[in-house]
Amino acid sequence: MKEIVAGIDIGGTNTVFGLVDKEGKLLVKESIPTGHFPIPEDLAAVVSEHIKKALLPFKNEYKLSGVGIGAPNGNYFKGTIEFAPNLKWQGVVPLAQLFEERLGVRTLLTNDANAAALGEMIFGGAKGMKDFLFITLGTGLGSGIVSNGEMIYGHDSFAGEIGHVIMFPDGRPCGCGRKGCLETYCSATGIKRTYSDLLMSNHEKVDLSDKVADAKYIYDKAIAGDKSALEAFNYTGEILGLALANSVAYTSPEAIFLFGGLAQAGELIFKPTRESFERNLLNIYKNKIQILPSQLKENDAAILGAASLMWKEMNK
């Protein structure tokens, strides 16, 4: 019997889950709306049932050895989700325990960005690396820091919030209540705001309703040669490069992986980021740290990441 791990990603909109083998092959993949379950016990019950059913066709080949969960505000040490603003569940939810009770196997939980970083290490471009940063450029900016082969969780399991490093003390207001956080500049939301500011200062008239002005819209505009859109990518890369150069001074990684919608803009974002990065690096770090696109498939990354949390533990 080969071992298999269930990976579960709890999102504000959907919970996606699947079965992941040791090589990172995704055997089954399902999705259910998180919002349909006002109490977490119900979600755990339904997802556990689905996992059991999904295992049936493989019952002679695989046995379920563990569960890994990626979740917003996930506490690795306690296996809990704590005060997640984007979920309906209040307070502290002992989600890992809810799954252990229902599936009878060890369950680990961490936040979604950490899970994705582990996915990169176990199944992606960071295989064999012991020191790297993983940055997700989505609605916000998430991060996972791996140092000496281990995820940095910190004293309270909430390490790796690079998106909330204050870049400019009097900068853009952030959802966290402070000003100038990195993610207000370097994220899908951030580039949208930059683009809007540039259009205004360039005196261009454009329909800026929420619907059209998403990061993909700005990308299409930039590809078509739109000056403000190109400027928006350059500005975003300039700030991201500086922030990453500063980040290197903490953990001196071998590589930095960029993941998420904005990272899929390819050289439009990588080129200005790399240029600013090298220019802002302390001499001792120059020309030796790679900034790379994540090698995880966007659609499978969350499940693979969640499963990696358990695979990493089992591979020890």
C-beta neighbour count of 273 within 10 angstroms: 28
**Per CB under 8 A, does 130 bind its own copies?**
yes
Q: Does 131 bind its own copies (CB under 8 A)?
A: yes
Q: Tokens 């977490």 correspond to what residue? A: 40
Could you tell me the CA-to-CA distances from 208 to 106, 138, 217, 227, 236 in Å, in that order? Answer: 48, 20, 10, 16, 19
d(CA 291, CA 135): 10
Using alpha carbons, select from 146, 147, 194, 143 the residue that is nearest to residue 165. Answer: 143
Of 145, 244, 291, 307, the residue at the interface with its own copies (CB under 8 A) is: 145
Considering the complex, what minimum distance in angstroms separates the CB of residue 6 from its own copies?
A: 26
Binding segment toward its own copies, per CB under 8 A, in 16-24, 29-37, 97-105, 148-156? 148-156
**Of 105-113, 140-148, 192-200, 229-237, which part binds its own copies (CB under 8 A)?**
140-148
Q: How far is the CB of 140 from its own copies (least distance, A)?
A: 12
Nearest to 259, CA basis, from 150, 159, 121? 121
- Spell out the residues 6+ positions from residue 285 whose beta carbon is closer than 8 angstroms to its own: 245, 248, 249, 252
Build a one-symbol-per-residue string for 178-207: x at contacts with its own copies by CB under 8 A, - elsewhere: x-----------------------------
- Of 44 and 71, which has the nearer Cβ to its own copies? 71
| Window 156-175: contact mask with its own copies (x via CB under 8 A) | xxxxxxx-xxx--x------
Beginning with the edge strand found earlier in the chain, give each strand of the sheet holding 132-137 in spatial order: 150-151, 141-147, 132-137, 255-259, 290-293
Interface residue list for its own copies (CB under 8 A): 130-131, 145, 147-148, 150, 152-162, 164-166, 169, 176-178, 242, 245-247, 249-254, 280, 282-285, 288-289
